[in-house]
Amino acid sequence: MTNQENPAAEGFSHCTLLASVDAYHPDTLDLYQDLEANRYWFACFTDMLAKFERQAMESQSKDASAKTRAQSFREHCVAVFDQLQKDRRETETLGIRNLLEVIESGLRKFGFDDPWKEQKTIENKASIGLLKQRLHQLDSIASEREKWTELVRGVLAGNMFDWGAQAVTKILETNNGFGLQQALDRIQKRPWLIDDLDGWLDRMEHEPPHQCATIFTDNAGIDFVLGIVPLVRELLKRNTKVLLCATLNPAINDITYSELTRAIADCCKECDILRNAYSDQHRLLLFGNDQIGPCLDFRMISKGIL
């Protein structure tokens, strides 16, 4: 097996770890059933369309048709949202995932393949420049339990850097100096709303290392480089094989498979553990998942990952 696998041509299958494919639902909310959630999320996404329109237009600022196409994109999405909200059912259920897919499909329809591409490149480069410092910080923690706790906090903090989240976008747009440490400072004190950390820490301390870990990546920049990569490195130190899976198709500011391969190559220059696992031992493997939007549906995973 090579350390880069592109499974796009192999089709889809459900995740083999699902206890029941029939009982599994990728959405936690059904907007057809929860009227309060329906009103909230449709209003939220309708408001966000203006930001997506602006980002699309700015991503092709040298194209004279970009402004008109970006406006057409927004109008198209508004029309689809209106149709869906009036309960003209095209599907049995309606989740937030479906609304995000409307946006991503709309961007492609009007010629905007990857509006966040330039921004992702900038954020990846800046974050890689801080990676060695973050790794030194983690390595200085003597207690293994405290180190794993800080790694998990880093993953939580990194996940804040999502340009598809309205509340986070307001922070990022008004504070250019907002970085990982600022995000770490905003994490609530434990216990968290859903807090299984202690059980997981006990597992890491007292049981044999995992043979394999599969991580589906999310946002580019701080989230991936300073949140996920340190976690990957620590798993590799335990001789766990790590599969990193990224979307093949652009979705908001999520890191794509092609961006993942470049980012990992650059991260390897900053850390011998990563470089050895990726280039020599082939214990760090990269995969592409052929999904439409940013949300996972474990009924539809590219077969090459399984």
Residue ranges matching CATH 3.40.50 in the chain: 117-305
What is the reported pLDDT for 113?
Answer: 97
- More confident position, 302 or 150: 150
**DSSP-H helix ranges across the chain:** 35-59, 66-85, 96-109, 117-139, 144-158, 166-174, 180-186, 197-206, 222, 229-237, 257-268, 272-275
Per-residue pLDDT of 47-85, as tens digits, reads 999 999 999 999 999 999 999 999 999 999 999 999 998
pTM, two decimals, is: 0.93
Task: Residue 129: name the closest of 231, 261, 284, 267 by CA.
Answer: 267
Q: In this structure, which CATH number among 3.30.980, 3.40.50, 3.30.2420, 3.30.390 belongs to the domain 117-305?
A: 3.40.50
Task: Residue 155: name the closest of 236, 238, 224, 213 by CA.
Answer: 224
What is the reported pLDDT for 269?
Answer: 98
Mean pLDDT of 241-245: 98
Mean pLDDT of 293-301: 92
Residue ranges matching CATH 1.20.1700 in the chain: 28-109
Mean pLDDT of 150-175: 82
Per-residue pLDDT of 113-124, as tens digits, reads 999 999 999 999
How much of the chain is in helix, strand and coil states, percent to nearest 5? Answer: 55, 10, 35
Cα separation of 195 and 217, whole Å? 21
3-state secondary structure of 61: coil
Contact in structure between 56 and 118 (CB atoms under 8 Å)? no
β-pair partners for 244: 215, 286
CATH number of the domain located at residue range(s) 28-109 in this protein: 1.20.1700
